[in-house]
Chains A and B, each alone.
Chain A
Amino acid sequence: MLNSINLKPYILLPIFLGISLNACSADKLTVVSWGGSFTKSQVEAYHKPYIKETGVEIVSEDFNGGLAEIKAQVESGNVTWDLVSLDKPDIVRGCAEGLLETFDPSILPAGDDGTPAKDDFIEGAIHKCAINSIVVSTILAINENQFKGKATPTKMTDLFDLKTFPGRRGLQKIPQGNMEWALLADGVSAEDVYAQLETREGRDRAFNKLNTIKEHVFWWTTGAQAPQMLADGEVVISSAFNGRISNAKRDENQPFKIIWDRQMGYMNGWAIPKGSKNLERAIEFVVFSSKTKPLAKQAAYVSYGPTRKSSTINMDKALLDTLPTAPQNFETAFLVNDEWWGDYADELNEEFNTWLAK
């Protein structure tokens, strides 16, 4: 039986694969993102025009965020990803741990209106390890059907108002954002939030504020859960990523409403794992995708704000209003301090988990 099987192809296959992989790596980029409608927006706005212009092949892969895979690739010395769509906290952390390539921001071209790149990008968008392309916001959202003929929540502090708005609340199961909201709702001014969070008293103050709603909170972990819980009527108000809520409104006609008050803004952009085999091509892609037009184009597919001011100049008013960066939405926005969290995330995560388990 065994003799009748020709083993040759099986022995040759790995060798052949090895050769072909090496041969391919020259003009092929592996671009990794979060999948679903988000990846689709990037494919339409960045990948397709880039392929058209350069002829480089792009392999699109999905991941779940975080740095675990990048760390594993960098440590083993076998880096197969060329570009990764990372959230700013992970960019800061990955950069601090030396997992990402750094690049010189002077290579970025000016905006289409002639504004130099360093003035065109909003503050914090240009990082030495990544160019952030969008502003994502954690906002509060409600299902209007649940508030028919009743007072409707309009501001962030309503999250903590169980008397006027009874019912379960949805919050993301991380300390980031929740600690800040708790302190802001407790009357701490925006400038003092992080100074307070460095002290024991400040942290206890935040946890005490969160204690007032603790028994009524459903803690979600993935972005899809929040709109799902709102649609099912499991929660009356929930924090969520604004793009998820906008998409549910637009594509599924969900009666959702976004409360922009105290939106927690953070950014997302392209980073290159250290040791990428196609470094030059990858940097070329970053530069290409962060031009005015591609950034504007992405917003048409998913409601996240472009980081270049010049991208919003010719934008449709109706579209602009759905973005976190629209002036009327951005008024009371709170920008999450990623550098601060880089230092304190380990410690506060432990405290947060201990508090949750209590």
Chain B
Amino acid sequence: MHLELTSLPSVVDMQDPLNEDQAKLKQNLQKAERKKRLRSLMLTLPLLAFIMITFVVPIAEMLYRSIDNPLIAKNLPNTVKSLSQWEQQGLPDKEAYNALAEELIRLYQSKSLPPLASRLNIEVAGMRSLMMKTGRKLSTFEQINDYKTAMIKIDKRWNNIEYWGAIKNLSSKFTISYYLAALDFRQNAQGDIVAQPEHRQVYLNLFVKTLGLSALITGLCLLLGYPLAYLLATLPDSKSNLLLILVLLPFWTSLLVRTTSWIVLLQMQGVVNDLLLYVGVISERIQLVHNTFGTVVAMVHILLPFMILPIYSVMKGISPDYFRAARSLGATPTIAFIKAYMPLTMSGVGAGVLLTFILSIGFYITPALVGGRSGQMISNFIAYHMQSSLNWGMASALGGILLLTVLIMFYLFNRIVGINNIKVGN
């Protein structure tokens, strides 16, 4: 039958145009599909542009700034060249003095010395005024035969390898010096990487403290949030809605208002101290704010909704049948809760923990207001370098390390919990 059919020429002839038509149809269909896809892609373009402009580009710029070091190579090319053979042991040769002196005069006269002097001052204190003074005085001399003697006469610090070492260490276009400083290391005059002197080691401890505090705050949020989320999920709707509003109301209140309210409550002459004193728990007023305790309390309060909401939404979707089934199979309420119910909530817990932890690592305003001396975190120092010390390279390096820490946390979290198992809702 089949053979007969194909052997008929008319049928064969008819099949070909049909194929052609089909192919055309397919092509048209594909075209339409592509148009559709393109259109939907176009719809996501604003979002893509938004993410690029507000997220990707600034982060890339920040990372670039943390290693960018153009000033010395650009402004002191001859000095850098003549220092290239220098072993950083004894003083550099006369040629280096000559090159630096000539370039200092040129930079001073064109008024472009200040930024360079400031950059070097970050590495060695006092170098700003040393460079400015030397440039200013050299410019006033009529004729100089021996730059080396002249420079040492202007300031005997030019006899010190420390200052030459700083120029040499920063002579390339890119530097790791900000990252070294952010990890409490420095490059000494010989160019070796050594630990910062003890009285200047601040950042490493601060990173550890920031991570520790964030872990503590996340743990406390989980401890407080889990039972509350369970209560919210199991109460009848009329009651749970009211409770949910109580959770959300502070969530919608300004962060600043909530933080300053904690100061009012916890300060020495505040309500909490009054109450404790009245009840007789304490015999004299204790310090509850402007320290680590204050930071932890205020941050737990502020971050609690971020823990409760994902857990609640996951719990809401768990059928009570599982619990009943476990009970009917002989489990005690506790066992049934731990073995049957809790594993089902883990995806919500995962989301809550990750959200709270990452938010608290970067927290800035609350520690600044209630942290006092001991409750400061790494973001407070990033802000300090942005606003006060104007050392934006350092701020970028600290930010870069913070970013890396978050990525590592995310990776570890993915390995342990699995990112696919995270649920914010159902």
Please tell me if the beta carbons of A219 and B206 are within 8 angstroms of each other in the complex. no
Instruction: Report which of A95, A346, A357 forms a contact with B389, defined as CB distance below 8 A.
Output: A346
Q: Which of A147-176 contact B (CB under 8 A)?
A: 168, 173
Instruction: Report which of A68, A217, A339 forms a contact with B387, defined as CB distance below 8 A.
Output: A68
Instruction: Please judge, given known A-B contacts A233-B269, A234-B269, A342-B128, whether A97 and B390 are in contact too, CB under 8 Å.
Output: yes
Q: Does A66 contact B (CB under 8 A)?
A: yes
User: A298 to chain B: closest CB distance in Å?
Assistant: 26
> In the complex, what residues of A have CB within 8 A of residue B121's CB?
343, 346
Q: Does A232 contact B (CB under 8 A)?
A: yes
> In the complex, what residues of A have CB within 8 A of residue B376's CB?
357
The CA of A221 and the CA of B290, in the complex, are separated in Å by: 12
The CA of A33 and the CA of B392, in the complex, are separated in Å by: 23
Q: Does B205 contact A (CB under 8 A)?
A: yes
Please tell me if the beta carbons of A354 and B201 are within 8 angstroms of each other in the complex. yes
User: B360 to chain A: closest CB distance in Å?
Assistant: 19
**Considering only CB atoms, which chain A residue lies closest to B112 in the complex?**
A98
Q: Does A351 contact B (CB under 8 A)?
A: yes
> In the complex, what residues of B have CB within 8 A of residue A97's CB?
114-115, 118, 390
Categorize the interface residue count of chain A: 35 or more
Q: Which of B70-120 contact A (CB under 8 A)?
A: 111-112, 114-115, 117-118
Q: Determine, out of B8-16, B166-174, B311-319, B366-374, the stretch whose residues face the partner at the interface.
A: B366-374
The CA of A68 and the CA of B392, in the complex, are separated in Å by: 9
> In the complex, what residues of B have CB within 8 A of residue A93's CB?
390
The CA of A118 and the CA of B234, in the complex, are separated in Å by: 79
For A48-65 the 0/1 string (1 means CB < 8 A from B) is 000000000000000010
User: B146 to chain A: closest CB distance in Å?
Assistant: 27
Please tell me if the beta carbons of A66 and B199 are within 8 angstroms of each other in the complex. no
Instruction: Report which of B115, B127, B132, B290 forms a contact with A218, defined as CB distance below 8 A.
Output: B290
Please tell me if the beta carbons of A346 and B122 are within 8 angstroms of each other in the complex. yes
Q: Does B391 contact A (CB under 8 A)?
A: yes
Q: Does A67 contact B (CB under 8 A)?
A: yes
Please tell me if the beta carbons of B129 and A354 are within 8 angstroms of each other in the complex. no
User: B131 to chain A: closest CB distance in Å?
Assistant: 10
Q: Which of B355-389 contact A (CB under 8 A)?
A: 368, 372-374, 376, 381, 384, 386-389
Q: Does B212 contact A (CB under 8 A)?
A: no
User: A264 to chain B: closest CB distance in Å?
Assistant: 18
> In the complex, what residues of B have CB within 8 A of residue A339's CB?
129
Instruction: Please judge, given known A-B contacts A96-B128, A98-B112, A218-B290, whether A66 and B387 are in contact too, CB under 8 Å.
Output: yes
Please tell me if the beta carbons of A356 and B118 are within 8 angstroms of each other in the complex. no
**Considering only CB atoms, which chain A residue lies closest to B291 in the complex?**
A218
Please tell me if the beta carbons of B373 and A217 are within 8 angstroms of each other in the complex. yes
The CA of A68 and the CA of B383, in the complex, are separated in Å by: 10
**Considering only CB atoms, which chain A residue lies closest to B198 in the complex?**
A354
Q: Which of B384-426 contact A (CB under 8 A)?
A: 384, 386-392
Q: Which of B112-158 contact A (CB under 8 A)?
A: 112, 114-115, 117-118, 121-122, 125-129, 132
The CA of A173 and the CA of B129, in the complex, are separated in Å by: 25
Please tell me if the beta carbons of A354 and B126 are within 8 angstroms of each other in the complex. no
Instruction: Please judge, given known A-B contacts A221-B368, A344-B125, A351-B199, whether A232 and B269 are in contact too, CB under 8 Å.
Output: yes
Please tell me if the beta carbons of A233 and B125 are within 8 angstroms of each other in the complex. no
User: B123 to chain A: closest CB distance in Å?
Assistant: 9
The CA of A218 and the CA of B373, in the complex, are separated in Å by: 8
User: A357 to chain B: closest CB distance in Å?
Assistant: 6
> In the complex, what residues of A have CB within 8 A of residue B202's CB?
350, 353-354, 357
The CA of A63 and the CA of B391, in the complex, are separated in Å by: 19
Please tell me if the beta carbons of B269 and A356 are within 8 angstroms of each other in the complex. no
5 closest residue pairs by CB, A with B: A347-B125, A98-B114, A354-B202, A68-B387, A343-B126
User: Which positions in A face B, CB cutoff 8 Å?
Assistant: 64, 66-68, 71, 93, 95-98, 168, 173, 203, 217-219, 221, 232-234, 339, 342-351, 353-357
